[in-house]
């Protein structure tokens, strides 16, 4: 199999079940942003111990994003050809994210204020992945797919990745030093 096809040299790319669109079309921009988010999740996974709960969770999320990208890469007239859970995001996939958020939230004390990212490397990579997912969500919102679960999935995914980062911080986020919130507080700290 050759890696290059030369078909995209004209500035277009092929879609699932046929059709071609410009590489700068909103659906390709969405898939590009999701691809970046998936790679960022992969970076976070590289920080996880192989076979750990975090590793397995991230692999499952990365695979879900393949499903999401297949849906986005399909013309509206070809949507009936999509298979739920394989090439079409389902409500159950969104609900599964909510269940994971709830389960992790029960195990981890969540911060009551803004978090300063970087308490540890695993959490920092998850925070970076969260920002990539949020960007994908913003890009996807430019041209929503009618009747699709793509937007809710990306929204819940960003919430889950934020929750995963707090879980990976443990209590480190609770004790992390935060800067003073106001000029008056900064003045009080001066000797």
Quote the tokens at residue 8.
């995209």
The answer for residues whose C-beta is within 8 angstroms of residue 64's C-beta and 6 or more apart is: 89, 93, 153, 157
Q: Which own/partner pairs from 107-110 qualify as long-range (CB within 8 Å, at least 24 positions apart)?
A: 107/167, 108/163, 108/166, 108/167, 108/170, 109/171, 109/174, 110/163, 110/166
The CATH superfamily holding the domain 8-175 is Cobalamin adenosyltransferase-like (1.20.1200.10)
Check residue 118 and give its pLDDT: 92
Per-residue pLDDT tens over the stretch 113-143 = 888 999 999 999 999 999 999 999 999 999 8
Give the start-to-end residue ranges of the domains of the chain.
8-175
**Cα–Cα distance measured from residue 20 to residue 18, given in angstroms and rounded to the nearest whole number:** 7
Task: Judge contact between 114 and 54, C-beta under 8 A.
Answer: no
Per-residue pLDDT tens over the stretch 49-61 = 999 999 999 999 9
Task: Judge contact between 85 and 67, C-beta under 8 A.
Answer: yes
Q: By C-alpha distance, which of 110, 98, 124 is closest to 170?
A: 110
- Rounded to an integer, the average pLDDT of 65-84 is 96
Give the DSSP letter of residue 18: S
Per-residue pLDDT tens over the stretch 27-48 = 999 999 999 999 999 999 999 9
Q: Measuring CA to CA, how many Å separate 181 from each of 9, 113, 117, 177?
A: 52, 11, 16, 12
């Amino acid at each position: 199999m050759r890696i290059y096809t030369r078909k995209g040299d004209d500035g277009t790319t092929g879609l699932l079940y046929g059709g071609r669109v410009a590489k700068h079309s909103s659906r390709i921009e969405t898939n590009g942003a999701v691809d970046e988010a998936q790679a960022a999740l992969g970076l976070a996974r590289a920080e996880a111990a192989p076979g750990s709960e975090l590793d397995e969770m991230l692999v499952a999320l990365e695979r879900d994003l393949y499903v999401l990208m297949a849906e986005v890469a399909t013309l509206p007239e070809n949507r009936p050809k999509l298979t739920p859970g394989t090439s079409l995001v389902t409500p159950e996939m969104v609900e599964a994210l909510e269940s994971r958020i709830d389960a992790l939230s029960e195990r981890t004390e969540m911060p009551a204020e803004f978090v300063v990212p970087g308490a540890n490397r695993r959490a920092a990579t998850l925070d970076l992945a969260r920002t990539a997912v949020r960007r994908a969500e913003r890009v996807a919102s430019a041209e929503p797919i009618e009747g699709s679960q793509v937007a809710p999935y990306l929204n819940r995914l960003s919430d889950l990745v934020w929750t995963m980062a707090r879980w990976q911080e443990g209590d480190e986020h609770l004790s992390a030093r935060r800067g003073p919130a106001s000029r008056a507080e900064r003045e009080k700290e001066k000797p």
